[in-house]
Amino acid sequence: MATIHHGLAEGVYSFNEVPRDSYLAFLGRISPEKRPDRAISIAKRLGMRLKIAAKVDAVDVGYFHDEIKPLLADPLIEFIGEISDSEKSAFLGNASRTGKPGSLWIAKTKLYGRFSSLINLTAG
């Protein structure tokens, strides 16, 4: 048996003990299986701002325009679009909470200090 490491380069992400802002963060891509609609719903119910840093692949443009774009009219919701790797540390590190499933995501979120605040967006 062996340990399989997460593959994150050391020093790429930094721990942020105290976030500078109070918002929920969604990082990834816009697609039905990633459930950005659920992130938006959660943010609205909590009365918290949500920042969405996500790319829209060609296959998901219709989903974005039909299902997600109308939900962005709420002042609590901010769609940033795709961000670079160098922007991800500050984006997640300054958020109050993050949401996205996956073991690599958990490894990154631990680095930012938000592991205890993960929200599972794909759970029924």
The per-residue pLDDT for 58 is: 98
pLDDT of residue 95: 80
* Domain span at 51: 23-117
Residue at 123 is within a domain: no
pLDDT at 115 over 80: no
Q: What is the pTM of this model?
A: 0.73
In a domain, 71, yes or no: yes
SS (H, E, C) the chain: CCCCCCCCCCCCCCCCCCCCCCEEEEEEECCHHHCHHHHHHHHHHHCCEEEEEEECCHHHHHHHHHHHHHHHHCCCEEECCCCCHHHHHHHHHCCCEECCCCHHHHHHHHHHCCHHHCCCCCCC
Does any domain span residue 9? no
Structural domain contains residue 44: yes
Q: How many domains does the chain have?
A: 1
Q: Does residue 10 fall inside a structural domain?
A: no
Determine, yes or no, domain membership for 8: no
CATH of the domain at 47: 3.40.50.2000
